[in-house]
Structure 1
Amino acid sequence: MSSLVKNEFNFDFSNHLIQLRTIFQKSAILVIISSMILSFFINDIISLWFDSINIGHNSLNLTNYSPSDWLSIRFSLVLILACLVVMPFFSIMLRKFTVIGMTTKENLWFTLTLFFCTIITPLIFILVWIYIIPSWIELFEISSLVESVGKRYDAASILGVGIGISWVILIGSMMIITLGFARLIGLVENGHAKFRIRILLISTSILILSLPLVYDGLRVFISIITILIADRISATLPNPLLGTKIFEVSNVSFNGNIERIGVIDCSCEGSSPQIPESWNFEGIANPKCNAICLNPFEQNAIIDLIIGKKLTQLVITGCDASPLPMRMQEMIKKNQCEFSGLSWLDNPTINDDGMLKSLLFSSEE
């Protein structure tokens, strides 16, 4: 989120999190209400669907071998339809929540993801139920013809095939959104993989439990493949603007004072040397920038970092900090943060040892 917007409108981060919680609460309530409404029409919907497929045009060919399975199938179908109904509302609200805080590439990626999950997913759902499953039934009917042997169709099994595919599509789509959103806010980056693993395990378990009995023997395989594909798709999210979205900051000693420090590893468009990989920056924010004096997105992200981590000292490696735009300098000072530069760009003879010496800070408990 743009720091300029935060300051001008007195941004309250805790209030922002409450908005996110409200989105999920409203979506859950709408799913419940939609499920209650659809439960009154689900029998008619199922009857219309069976009438539209080729099963010999004789209702006597349909048999319900397990009433308990039938109840489970009806409940699953109601829940799937309710989620599809609510998904556009959820996507629109989530888009409004995240759009301010994303870069152009992140905005494009997340918009396309929400479009796919909101528009393409229902279209795939319709394609499966209207064309694919009836075609399978017709194919099986032709290939299983035995003279003088009657045919009976298990209604719950037929619906179970479609419901299983629907759960795979729905849960897979929701996982792409969830993991993509988690990556946007930095919850699943390297070194913070526990949250990602937890999401994957929970999603796999939900899908295993959701697949009907007709998928016995394939539940684990289908669930793992679905979740792994969703994880790989979410991993296509563009890299964070500052190299990462997670910065762990603690108090350190700087010029005899206790400060909260951020060291900007600015390459000055490739002209300045980078911070050596051997540098131990524990407790110090270490954002990476290409050209902070020229890129307004990087400038806003740095201001966000200052506000979020309450930085009191900002050190730029490449220059002496004088090229920073006046507006950014004012915003830094407004947030009680001082800034300076190491001017590595002006020192062509500097080596790794010299850079490491200029980055010596003492941690404070």
Structure 2
Amino acid sequence: MDVTPSDSMDDISTHLNDVFIFIKKWFIAFLFASIIVTIFIDQIISTWISSFEFDISELTVYSPERWLRMRWGTVMLAGLIMSIPYASFLIIKFVNPALYDFERKLILNLIGFSTLVICLIIPYCWFIISPNIMKDFTEITAIDQLSSSYDISLIYTIVLGITWSIVISIIALTSQGIAAILVDRDNIESTPVKWRIHMISLFILFLLLSGPLSPIWLPLSIGVIIITELIYALIPPKNTSLIQSGFITLNSDGSINRVAVLDCVCEDSCPALKNAPSNVAIIKTESICLNHDSNDRLIQILKSNDYTKLIVTGCNGIPVPKVIQDYLKTSSIQLIGLSWLDKRGFHPEDNNLANQRRMIQLNQVSNNHSDFDDSIVISDPGWGRYIPPGYISLPQYDEY
């Protein structure tokens, strides 16, 4: 049975406490895995060095500092790989109650695939790819009558930097995929979330790819950004999406007011919402009456918060499907229709005042009153009557 997302079940402090507990559990698992690795660190390094097929006399360590980094870097990397499956389990456990069914499937597959790739590609990169590359490079650059000598700690530093960059890139792309699934493409927070992840991941890559690996940073960063855009393009858009969350306001009598506006363009026959009040949640859809999936999605969004009022822009509320009207009645959510399809209350060629009238109308029903020039307001002469250019009638709307 699906659990509907809700912000009323737990407050922010509870969620932060859960995050802290999960991070603490993963960190303990990481430390435990690292301690186990320290027991076998010499065997691991010896196995890795022997995979290069070099004679011992050809290998040197010019820097004791690099040797220490070699040992501790191996411990941290192996500990991370061993603890990543547990970290993935904790992430899934944390986000699972707040996911819809289709979101849950996508995120489970994405996290599972990323975990599998990291756990397989890193050992393969260390013990198969890097020795083969080094072997081919040695054959190409060999000079007759000159003996070769290799600083194994420098080779390790290069392989370690590349490995960490691969891990961070995969984690960053996975995070972008999860963000693209959870945050609707048209949501005002979609782009900021995407670039926050970019800034964090690219900064970490910049720190990792220092020294001899610094030329790799720019092309790798560009590659991560391009793949991110491909991920966003591949994830199908939702027929009904929440593009603004809004916030709770108080009425004059002290009661709570939380408004959701259904920006239904009615298959492009109704004007789209512009300059929405900041306190309302904006739900965008092409047609709520002709798409059954949109009905289910709308109900899921309404369940996610304690809304007190649903405003429909296009119609007067009567064509709203019965399943939605029944849910609104059982949840005590007031339904208001703005009837923008009727195009009444303004001169048909006066688009600027038409937009202003709609803005005034929307602000009034969402309890977000704003000052406007009332000298242009005249009494409504009735449906089909002439309204001169430069004037509007007082907004009319229907409540259910």
TM over 0.5: yes
- 1:113-262 aligned within 5 A: 113-186=110-183, 190=188, 193-211=191-209, 213-215=211-213, 217-218=214-215, 220-221=217-218, 224-225=221-222, 227-229=224-226, 231-236=228-233, 237-239=235-237, 242-249=240-247, 251=249, 259-262=257-260
In structure 2, relative to structure 1, the CA distance for the partners of 1:339 and 1:359 (3 Å cut) is: same
Distance 1:233 1:332 in 2: 38
The farther-off stretch of 100-109 and 30-39 is 100-109
Instruction: Note the C-alpha offset of 1:209.
Output: 2.1
Alignment check: 8 A CA contact 1:261 1:285 kept = yes
The farther-off stretch of 68-77 and 178-187 is 178-187
Letter in 2 for 1:264: L
Letter in 2 for 1:265: D
Alignment check: 8 A CA contact 1:177 1:234 kept = no
Partner secondary structure for residue 287 of structure 1: strand
The residue number in structure 2 matching 1:47 is 46
Question: Of the candidates 81, 87, 92, which is equivalent to residue 89 of structure 2?
Answer: 92
Alignment check: 8 A CA contact 2:245 2:281 kept = yes
Question: Of the candidates 349, 359, 362, which is equivalent to residue 362 of structure 2?
Answer: 359
Residues 21-72 of structure 1: CA deviation (Å, up to 9, x unaligned): 43333222222221222122222101012223322xx212110011101212
User: Quick one: percent identity of the two aligned structures?
Assistant: 24
Partner secondary structure for residue 270 of structure 2: coil
Instruction: Note the C-alpha offset of 1:264.
Output: 0.7
In structure 2, relative to structure 1, the CA distance for the partners of 1:13 and 1:27 (3 Å cut) is: same
- 1:285-304 aligned within 5 A: 285-292=281-288, 294-295=292-293, 296-304=295-303
Alignment check: 8 A CA contact 1:186 1:246 kept = no
The residue number in structure 2 matching 1:312 is 308
In structure 2, relative to structure 1, the CA distance for the partners of 1:259 and 1:138 (3 Å cut) is: closer
In structure 2, relative to structure 1, the CA distance for the partners of 1:108 and 1:259 (3 Å cut) is: closer
Query: What is the TM-score of this pair, normalised by structure 1?
Result: 0.79
In structure 2, relative to structure 1, the CA distance for the partners of 1:99 and 1:70 (3 Å cut) is: same
Distance 2:274 2:336 in 1: 23
Residue ranges of structure 1 left out of the alignment (5+ in a row) = none
Question: Of the candidates 273, 277, 283, which is equivalent to residue 279 of structure 2?
Answer: 283
Letter in 1 for 2:29: L
Alignment check: 8 A CA contact 1:253 1:363 kept = no
Distance 1:89 1:286 in 2: 37
Alignment check: 8 A CA contact 2:180 2:190 kept = no
Instruction: Note the C-alpha offset of 1:172.
Output: 0.6
Letter in 1 for 2:136: L
Structure with greater Cα Rg: 2
Alignment check: 8 A CA contact 1:103 1:297 kept = no
Letter in 2 for 1:69: R
Q: Which fold has the larger relative contact order, with Cα–Cα distance below 8 Å and residues 6 or more apart in sequence?
A: 1
Alignment check: 8 A CA contact 1:3 1:304 kept = no
Partner secondary structure for residue 239 of structure 1: coil
Distance 1:171 1:206 in 2: 8
Partner secondary structure for residue 297 of structure 1: helix
Letter in 2 for 1:114: I
Instruction: Note the C-alpha offset of 1:123.
Output: 2.4
Partner secondary structure for residue 265 of structure 1: strand
In structure 2, relative to structure 1, the CA distance for the partners of 1:20 and 1:243 (3 Å cut) is: same
In structure 2, relative to structure 1, the CA distance for the partners of 1:243 and 1:231 (3 Å cut) is: same
Letter in 1 for 2:39: F
- 1:33-72 aligned within 5 A: 33-55=32-54, 58-72=55-69
Distance 1:135 1:4 in 2: 51
Count matched residues: 352
Distance 1:166 1:207 in 2: 11
Distance 2:74 2:340 in 1: 63
List, as ranges, runs of 4+ consecutive aligned residues in structure 1 with deviation greater than 6 Å: 348-352
Residue ranges of structure 2 left out of the alignment (5+ in a row) = 371-400
In structure 2, relative to structure 1, the CA distance for the partners of 1:26 and 1:241 (3 Å cut) is: farther
Question: What RMSD in Å do the two structures reach over aligned CA positions?
Answer: 3.8
Letter in 2 for 1:95: I
Alignment check: 8 A CA contact 1:163 1:212 kept = no
Instruction: Note the C-alpha offset of 1:174.
Output: 1.1
Instruction: Note the C-alpha offset of 1:280.
Output: 3.7
Letter in 2 for 1:44: Q
Alignment check: 8 A CA contact 1:204 1:223 kept = no
Partner secondary structure for residue 119 of structure 2: helix
Residues 97-138 of structure 1: CA deviation (Å, up to 9, x unaligned): 334544565445423421331112332223322322121121
